[in-house]
Amino acid sequence: MTSPMTARRPPAASTTGEAIERAERWFTSRGWRPFPFQRDVWRAYLAGESGLVHAATGTGKTLAVWMAPLIEAMREPRQASGLRVLWITPLRALAADTADALIQPLGDLGFDWTVETRTSDTSAAVRARQGRRLPTALLTTPESLSILLSREDSSQQFRELRVVVVDEWHELMGTKRGVQVELGLARLRQLRPDIRIWGLSATIGNLEDARDALLGTEPRTSRLVRGVEPKRVVVDALIPPVIERFPWAGHLGTQMLPAVVNAIEEGESAIVFTNTRSQTEIWYRALLEARPDWAGLIALHHGSLERKTREWVEEGLRTGRLRCVIATSSLDLGVDFSPVDRVLQIGSPKGVARLLQRAGRSGHRPGALSRVTCVPTNVLELLDVAAARDGIEMGAIESRLAVERPLDLLVQHVVTVALGGGFDADALVREVRTTRAYAELTDAEWAWVMDFVSRGGDALQGYEDYARVVQRDGRWIVASREIARRHRLSIGTIVSDAQITVQYLRGQRLGSVEESFIARLRPGDRFTFAGKPLEFVRVRDLRAWVRRAPNGQGVIPRWMGSRLPLSGELAAAIRRRLDEAHRGCFRGAEMEALRPILEVQARWSRIPALDEVLIERVRTREGHHVFVFPFEGRLVHEGLAALFAYRLSRFTPISFTLAANDYGLELLSADAAPLDEARAQGLFSPRNLFDDLPAALNASEMARRQFREIARIAGLVFPGFPRSGKTARQLQASSGLFFDVLERHDPSNLLLGQARREVLERQLERSRLARTLERLASARAVITTPRRTPPLAFPLLIDRARDRVSSETLADRIRRMQLALERAADA
Amino acid sequence: MPDRGLRVDARGEELLLLPERAVFWPRRETLLVADAHFGKAASFRAAGVPVPHGTTADALTRVDALLDRTSARRVVFLGDFLHAKEGRSPSTVRALTEWRARHHAIDMTLVRGNHDRRAGDPPTKIAIDCEDGPLHEEPFAFAHHPRAVPGAYVLAGHLHPAAVMTGPARQRERLACFWFGTEIGVLPAFGDFTGVSEVRPVVGDRVFVIADESVFEVR
């Protein structure tokens, strides 16, 4: 990844104008012309400004910012040594591709700069070399940036830094990784006050927020540069040939397979996007069964596959060797796959911006349209497709919600800075407050964070013999090498369950799956992973050893947290489409195809109008079901389900099992819920929301679940160490256990408060939830009592992810329960 | 005699299963405690992981209450008394020593478990006899690992057992339990900061779950 070192360097440009001319001549030599927006970026950069560039992918954003520091350097007589450009990218896979793009102009323009990547994939040898000397331009991930900042000589290594570029900022913003970048940038601004920061982003609903989060709260001149207009996007759908009138047939399975095969054949090269990793495995298997002759011509791509496999697949897409790749969001971003001329989306698009991004992966040839074809996996998803098209037409692009001062991440960062040469507490808090995420950090919160890292708890109950960070000569540092080692290993905010590597007995690694999946397998069980039929042999040394199985049947792993909720914009568009259907209007091919199902819904129950909220009460062998349909996306519904269950449970001792999906929620109980009584007392009322919601969260498992991520980021729970001995295993405790112990013995611990706040504000989007309640409270409630489960409710009935809220004593509940003798496979 | 708990028969002997996660054997006035994992939180703290104080003190208070209520003359710990070498912190050792002094008249025995082998026996001033086990006492064999012993009914720990209960309207609950098979009875873990693992009982096993302050037999 190093540029040729042989190029002779032309003499320094005498004026900025001359330097810009050289850059423009390079464009001309490649048969291009700089876009006006690219010139805007150069001028702003040379004037010392920072900014955010937003444009569709593949429209020259990379060169817009990369050329700027090159032009700057052309004016300097001597080439500087040391790191000048730091390029942060959300995906490891992108780093290598972007490096290739950055190297291109260097030789032609006579630069002897070095361009290297540094990610968790980087070999130990390269890392050691970088430890001695960093390249001129370094491409890295947010996590690897933190690791660089944890080096003791971190202030030295950034001495020559001129610019930090944050690529795909829209992907990072609104996540804790984005906050990690904000903290890293604040550190770099402190070390090098005159650095410029430039972000690259796709178009999102709140670009000004995105810029402010990137650049921090200290005033500085900055730009928002708008790039080239996106290509026109066409959205269509494969309509199921036969739509059964009865909704339990709504689940299409692989009925759409022939149509998908035809669509793939129409193009030269296709990407088939799915919403989950499991779905890629399922569709890959189905496509190969339908077309055995495609063996070797189709492949699958998702984040849990081995890196070498992923790279091989990406290469195949670029060269056109593969005719189809089935992928998750792992292929949403990144450099162009020019041969791709067909994009399919399996399942609901979930959001307007997401569908646009995926559509943009096709049609890179001049004059081509971007086209995406949606494939419903359930007929109701046709509704999502029609609504997504409405959203694109109206330009209803989603915003990214900012993350408010996550203390777990601040705990991690403080230890990182202590490792990176130590800090003065007053200076560090000033620095941290220059980020958007921590601008409102209170003195009490900061004091708690410092107590937590130095004493383990607040001042009153500091822990004896505990010290992660200690004070020496007025500066806070990490004294223990063991703590330093473990901290560097666990830096990172992407959280997943314990992962376990899947490997053939004869050696080749396939990727990783969650430990909980492997725990359910017994030797001899079959499963499919990385598109290969496998037989599970045993677990040893944190690896699942497998051998090839003869045929493709067997279970497919599921990964947690892979269900994306419907966006607010798409949800609103769906409500408008249903309102039309309520009035008997079925516009477009999708709605026309859905018509028989929606007519069953209207006959058995009702299609809700825009000013109505539909409530269905259904009795089945399982018990009494209450379905409510706010159409606000799964996360809001999870919160509402807990809230409604909590409010209902105050009228009588009762136990609820809860389910939620993008359309609505279900409350299931053994006895009928006191719905009428509760409605009369304000079941849907936004009043007391701020008291009732936290109580509802305590009653459910939500805060305890959210704590998984927090415990890991704050360094309570470690990811499995690759080569850890027995000592590490004696330090294993589940985040749930931590949660319980903290609740009992340190209830004022702010990390517990953060777990609750995150559930309220991020997971449940409290403000959106409050707005939804206001809408529900003013809407006309229509209660139906269908004899069978109507089409809209059916997917909820068969949903598996469930929460619980109860006002009965545990003992009373247990008396009515039975022992699960053999744990079911899906338990 | 204690008012709480559930009386069960094991090989003709009456045992009392206690909701505090212990077993009392009235005929021999013996209290059985498995997997206390004392000092686990301290071993985390020693490694720079902040776990609050109080788990060890809480567990000791529970033993106090049990000794008081049952008037037991002897305690047998079924392994994993101490969690780790790093957990032998001054505060843990001090708490254990003071607690032992309050019950100096009571005999205490530890049947060593896998954690004890690495953590070492309790300091001698705590005065607990340590044995590798199984420890035979007609009709029982006390052990840490739940392995069958010919001619005896084994009472053991190690597993931290929990049972999964299912009910109407898709209810589901996971609860710490006593798991008594035909040859072996497994006790729940006594320590607070220990966690549980689901067990898979088979037909013929008896399972007693702990819910709130009571012990129930479930089937």
For residues B216 and B5, the answer to whether their CB atoms sit within 8 Å is no
Phi, psi of A770 (to 5 degrees): -65, -45
For residues A760 and A692, the answer to whether their CB atoms sit within 8 Å is no
Question: What token pair was written down for B57?
Answer: 């003190």
Instruction: Give this prediction's pTM.
Output: 0.83
**A462: CATH:** 1.10.10
Q: Are residues A278 and A419 in the same domain?
A: no
The per-residue pLDDT for A719 is 56
Residue A133 lies in a domain: yes
With contacts defined as CB-CB under 8 Å, which chain A residues touch B44? 731, 733
Flag if A810 and B173 touch (Cβ within 8 Å): yes
Flag if A745 and B166 touch (Cβ within 8 Å): no
Which among B164, B170, B198 has CB closest to A622?
A: B170
Final residue of a structural domain among A186, A206, A226: A226
Q: Are residues A361 and A451 in the same domain?
A: no
| Cα A824 to Cα A270, A388, A815, B199, distances in angstroms | 39, 38, 21, 12
- In what helix (H) or strand (E) does residue A29 lie, and over which residues does it extend? helix A16-29
**B17: CATH:** 3.60.21
Buried b (16+ CB within 10 A) or exposed e, B138-150: eebbbbbbbeebe
Which residue's entry shows tokens 């003013």?
A: A778
**Tens digit of pLDDT for each residue in A323-363?**
999 998 888 876 667 778 889 999 999 999 899 888 888 87
With contacts defined as CB-CB under 8 Å, which chain B residues touch A715? 48-49
According to DSSP, the residues that pair with B215 across neighbouring strands are B210
Among B195, B158, B184, B176, residue whose Cα is nearest residue B19: B176
- In what helix (H) or strand (E) does residue A127 lie, and over which residues does it extend? helix A124-132
Final residue of a structural domain among A187, A207, A226: A226
Residue A827 lies in a domain: no
Going by pLDDT thresholds of 50, 70 and 90, the confidence category of residue B25 is very high
Q: Are residues A142 and A193 in the same domain?
A: yes
Residue A442 lies in a domain: yes
Residue B108 lies in a domain: yes
Size of interface A-B (CB pairs under 8 A): 162
Measured in angstroms, the CA of A461 and the nearest CA of chain B are apart by: 8
Going by pLDDT thresholds of 50, 70 and 90, the confidence category of residue A6 is very low
Whether residue A826 lies within 8 A of chain B, CB to CB, comes out as no
> Is the model more confident about A213 or about A769?
A213
Flag if A823 and B198 touch (Cβ within 8 Å): yes
Q: Is the model's pLDDT at A41 over the cut of 80? A: yes
Q: Are residues A165 and A293 in the same domain?
A: no
Residue B1 lies in a domain: no
Residue A27 lies in a domain: yes
Q: Are residues A371 and A444 in the same domain?
A: no
Q: Are residues A207 and A293 in the same domain?
A: no
Which among B45, B53, B201 has CB closest to A819?
A: B201
Measured in angstroms, the CA of A112 and the nearest CA of chain B are apart by: 45
Residue A573 lies in a domain: no
With contacts defined as CB-CB under 8 Å, which chain B residues touch A414? none
Phi, psi of A657 (to 5 degrees): -110, 130
Q: Is the model's pLDDT at A562 over the cut of 70? A: no
Cα–Cα dist A69/A66, whole Å: 6
Which among B43, B50, B214 has CB closest to A463?
A: B50
Closest-CA residue in chain B for A751? Answer: B50
Cα–Cα dist A635/A81, whole Å: 50
The per-residue pLDDT for A825 is 33
The per-residue pLDDT for A721 is 43
Q: Which of A407, A419, A465 has the most B C-beta neighbours within 10 Å, making it the best mutation to test the interface with B?
A: A465
- What integer is the mean pLDDT of A704-709? 78
Which amino acid is residue A649, in one-letter code?
Answer: S
Q: Is A625 in a helix, a strand, or coil?
A: strand
- What integer is the mean pLDDT of A780-807? 86
The radius of gyration of chain B from alpha carbons, rounded to an integer in Å, stands at 17
Closest-CA residue in chain A for B115? Answer: A730
Write out the residue range of the structural domain in which residue B154 sits. Answer: 6-218
Residue B163 lies in a domain: yes
- In what helix (H) or strand (E) does residue B7 lie, and over which residues does it extend? strand B6-10
The full length of chain A comes to: 827
According to DSSP, the residues that pair with A684 across neighbouring strands are none
Q: Is A653 in a helix, a strand, or coil?
A: coil
Q: How do B107-111 and B129-131 pair as beta strands? A: parallel
Q: Are residues A429 and A452 in the same domain?
A: yes
The per-residue pLDDT for A827 is 32
Q: Are residues A756 and A791 in the same domain?
A: yes
The per-residue pLDDT for A826 is 36
Q: Which of A452, A485, A741, A822 has the most B C-beta neighbours within 10 Å, making it the best mutation to test the interface with B?
A: A741
- In what helix (H) or strand (E) does residue A411 lie, and over which residues does it extend? helix A407-419
Q: Is the model's pLDDT at A56 over the cut of 80? A: no
Flag if B200 and A726 touch (Cβ within 8 Å): no
Final residue of a structural domain among A359, A394, A429: A394
Q: Are residues A220 and A243 in the same domain?
A: no
Flag if A813 and B173 touch (Cβ within 8 Å): yes
The per-residue pLDDT for A253 is 65
With contacts defined as CB-CB under 8 Å, which chain B residues touch A817? 165-167, 171, 173, 218
Residue A253 lies in a domain: yes
With contacts defined as CB-CB under 8 Å, which chain B residues touch A730? 43, 83-84, 86, 115, 118
The per-residue pLDDT for A520 is 75
Write out the residue range of the structural domain in which residue A529 sits. Answer: 499-548
Domain count across chain A: 5
Flag if B166 and A818 touch (Cβ within 8 Å): yes
Flag if A486 and B48 touch (Cβ within 8 Å): yes
For residues A780 and A611, the answer to whether their CB atoms sit within 8 Å is yes
What ipTM is given for this predicted complex? 0.85
Residue B121 lies in a domain: yes
Angle (CA) A781 A783 A786, round 5°: 155
Q: Are residues A522 and A485 in the same domain?
A: no
- Cβ within 8 Å of residue A664, ≥6 positions away: A614, A627, A628, A629, A630, A631, A637, A792, A793, A796
Which amino acid is residue A464, in one-letter code?
Answer: E
Cα–Cα dist A182/A177, whole Å: 9
Residue A657 lies in a domain: yes
Domain count across chain B: 1
Q: Are residues A219 and A259 in the same domain?
A: no
Q: Are residues A278 and A376 in the same domain?
A: yes
Residue B78 lies in a domain: yes
Residue A9 lies in a domain: no
Flag if A744 and B175 touch (Cβ within 8 Å): no
Phi, psi of A672 (to 5 degrees): -65, 140
Flag if A466 and B203 touch (Cβ within 8 Å): no
